[in-house]
Amino acid sequence: MANLKEIRNRISSVSSTMQITSAMKMVSAAKLKKAQDAITAMRPYADKLTELLQGLSATLDADSGSKYAAQREVNKVLIVAITSNRGLCGAFNSNIVKEVTRLTNETYADQEVSYLAIGKKANDAFKKSEKVIANHSEVFDDLTFDNVAEIAQYLMDKFVEGEFDKIELVYNRFKNAATQIVTTEQFLPIVPVEGEANTNADYIFEPSKAEIVEQLIPKSLKTQLYKGVRDSFASEHGARMTAMHKATDNATELRDQLKLTYNKARQAAITNEILEIVGGAEALNN
């Protein structure tokens, strides 16, 4: 059994760790509320805009089709991996890395795959492969629509220039503080709605179809990427809050066990000292 000094040092260490994890949990909880409100507020708008975009794409004929809806033979694929800049959030980042790796090795095994990292952890995971074309970890320092729109415009330009035939987004979609869903979403080319939604749609174009395509599609794509980044941001704080909550509970349990062990060891030491004193006194009497 460890001596009393070692046990005291472990109790002190675990207590310090527990204070840190508890503080991190409270910070993440505070940030989560703001991030959750932001993604909850923008989801209906983003979803409706995407619905309009897909419906509009379905009405375009071959001659007036958008350059962002061009269907080409898929030879070069770009995967946008959205993670966090920091760790201590459970399997939040590793789940994204696993999904991107699965897409690379299975779904796009016959294609040339490159990566664009939004988040330091994604860049760290894939930079050794030398296929990371850009790293935009700085976007989380000032998460605004304009900053994310610049990244979206970069992706749109790369697609139009023919550098990539398909662009996929991989991110954690926020469900609640304890649940994040790994989501793979096609960014480009635009996928029209299939089925009756297309045939029954009756659109009135004002001022013209061409102007709507020119303005609505880029805005919708930028909003789609912004929603993905916002989803990931909220998921990060939810995952970190949950992870720190579990870590605090584990530290509390370990501290209590160590205190029990310390008290037993101290009691045993005191008992031994009493026995030694009694034995010495009896020896003197004899």
Would you give per-residue pLDDT tens digits along the chain (286 residues)?
568 889 999 999 999 999 999 999 999 999 999 999 999 899 888 888 877 776 666 555 544 456 888 888 999 999 999 999 999 999 999 999 999 999 999 999 999 999 999 999 999 999 888 789 999 999 999 999 999 999 999 999 999 999 999 999 999 999 988 899 999 999 999 876 555 444 455 667 777 766 776 778 888 899 999 999 999 999 999 999 999 999 999 999 999 999 999 999 888 888 888 888 888 878 777 6
Round to whole Å and give the CA distance between 135 and 222: 18
The pLDDT value given to residue 84: 96
Alpha helices in the chain (DSSP H): 4-59, 92-102, 120-126, 145-160, 196-199, 209-285
The pLDDT value given to residue 210: 67
The pLDDT value given to residue 62: 44
Whether residue 140 contacts residue 230, with contact meaning beta carbons closer than 8 Å, is answered with: no
User: Is CATH 3.40.1380.10 correct for 21-242?
Assistant: yes
Structural tokens at position 63 = 């001659």
Whole-model pTM: value is 0.84
The pLDDT value given to residue 192: 66
The pLDDT value given to residue 197: 47
The pLDDT value given to residue 217: 84
Superfamily covering domain 4-16+244-280 = ATP synthase, gamma subunit, helix hairpin domain (1.10.287.80)
In the chain, CATH 3.40.1380.10 covers 21-242
In the chain, CATH 1.10.287.80 covers 4-16+244-280
Q: CB neighbours (10 Å) of residue 52?
A: 16
Residue 111 burial class via C-beta count within 10 angstroms: exposed 0-12, middle 13-18, buried 19 and up = middle
Whether residue 118 contacts residue 80, with contact meaning beta carbons closer than 8 Å, is answered with: yes
